[in-house]
């Protein structure tokens, strides 16, 4: 039996440079659609302010939080317990307190998988993938791709040692690290790629993968959703490739977090409408 949510749900997003995030609009719309009393705020905080926020969570002043860059890995280490995909990725995007314990969860991997499926970009079993980046979001994407039974994931990162750690955590048999600066290795992976995922902040002019090297059937997913249109998505579509930005992943991971905090089924239509309106502003 689902536990009734608290009378007032104080929710929020922890990150840096997030004052223009569309997540508050999406989550507030979800609360209204389900007649839940509460609010969702963007909490743009520096590292020195994190301990105070965690105290507010533990003391019940905050019901739950999403976590975004640059804190997904750091706040995983601050949790009393990691659940589900957070335990695999060692990265969190969802925080809550249960029975006095600070719990870290991760809805990014499932959200990414649902987004690819919804957008008809889901790779077939045996596909080859490239993931750009080695942070918490990249780890979730690698986990999701491995669950979709891709044959190999090349994790391309500026810090190859971080990519190696990610591969060992998530899927040592299916994922391998590639140095961002190793042009030959990156280009070789690009020529065989069935899906390219940009889980880094880099734009099309910065990434080491030339669009012209990607096969005609390759799909491109960029987790960025601003500025619109996302340049990598536009470049891929200009080559005739199927591509999408991170809007749908933002929706799915956010609503899975909503469900975790409230025990209530997400109002997908209302949340998507609010998200699209916020991004259009």
Query: CB–CB of 167/177 below 8 Å?
Result: yes
How far is the CA of 41 from the CAs of 4, 11, 38, 95, 96, in angstroms? 22, 7, 10, 14, 15
Q: pTM score, two decimals?
A: 0.95
Rounded Cα distance, 100 and 202, in Å? 39
pLDDT at 6: 60
Crossing angle of helices 136-147 and 108-118, rounded to 10°: 60
Q: Which two structure tokens, joined as six digits, stand for 59? A: 């003391």
Q: At 246, phi and psi to the nearest 5?
A: -90, 10
Q: How does residue 3 score in pLDDT terms, banded at 50, 70 and 90?
A: low
Would you give the end-to-end CA distance of the chain in angstroms? 40
Mean pLDDT score of the chain, rounded to an integer? 96
Which residue in 28, 72, 122, 272 is the catalytic one?
72
pLDDT in tens, 19-61: 999 999 999 999 999 999 999 999 999 999 999 999 999 999 9
Per the annotation, the verdict on 72 as an active-site residue is yes
Q: How does residue 1 score in pLDDT terms, banded at 50, 70 and 90?
A: very low
119-122 LR contacts (CB < 8 Å, sep 24+): 119/221, 119/244, 119/248, 120/242, 121/195, 121/219, 121/221, 121/242, 121/243, 121/244, 122/148
pLDDT in tens, 199-250: 999 999 999 999 999 999 999 999 999 999 999 999 999 999 999 999 999 9
Rounded Cα distance, 223 and 248, in Å? 9
Does the pLDDT of residue 4 top 70, yes or no? no
Phi-psi region of 67 (alpha: psi -120 to 50; beta: other; left: phi over 0): beta
pLDDT in tens, 147-178: 999 999 999 999 999 999 999 999 999 999 99
All residues at 6 or more sequence positions from 62 whose CB lies less than 8 Å from its CB, including other chains: 10, 11, 12, 53, 56
pLDDT at 7: 80
């Amino acid at each position: 039996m689902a536990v009734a949510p608290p009378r007032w749900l104080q929710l929020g997003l922890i990150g840096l440079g997030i004052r223009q995030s569309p997540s508050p609009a999406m989550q507030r719309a979800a609360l209204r659609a389900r007649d839940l009393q509460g609010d969702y705020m963007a909490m743009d905080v520096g590292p020195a302010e994190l301990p105070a926020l965690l105290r507010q969570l533990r003391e019940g002043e905050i019901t739950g939080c999403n976590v975004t860059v640059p804190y997904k890995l750091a706040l995983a280490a601050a949790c009393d317990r990691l659940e589900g995909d957070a335990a695999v990725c060692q990265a969190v995007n969802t925080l809550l307190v249960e029975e006095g314990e600070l719990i870290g969860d991760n809805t990014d991997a499932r959200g990414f998988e649902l987004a690819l499926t919804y957008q008809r970009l889901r790779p077939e079993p045996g596909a080859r993938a490239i993931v750009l980046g080695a942070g918490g979001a990249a780890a979730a994407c690698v986990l999701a791709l491995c669950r979709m039974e891709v044959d190999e994931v090349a994790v391309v990162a500026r810090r190859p040692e971080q990519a190696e750690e990610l591969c060992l955590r998530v899927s040592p048999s299916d994922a391998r690290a590639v140095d961002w600066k190793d042009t030959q290795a990156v280009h070789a992976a690009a020529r065989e790629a069935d899906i390219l995922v940009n889980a880094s902040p880099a734009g099309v002019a910065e990434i080491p993968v030339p669009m012209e090297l990607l096969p005609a059937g390759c799909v491109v997913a960029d987790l960025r959703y601003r500025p619109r249109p996302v340049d990598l998505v536009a470049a891929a579509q200009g080559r005739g490739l199927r591509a999408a930005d991170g809007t749908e992943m933002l929706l799915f991971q956010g609503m899975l977090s909503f469900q975790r905090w409230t025990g209530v089924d997400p109002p997908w239509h209302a949340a998507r409408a609010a998200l699209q309106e916020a991004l259009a502003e």
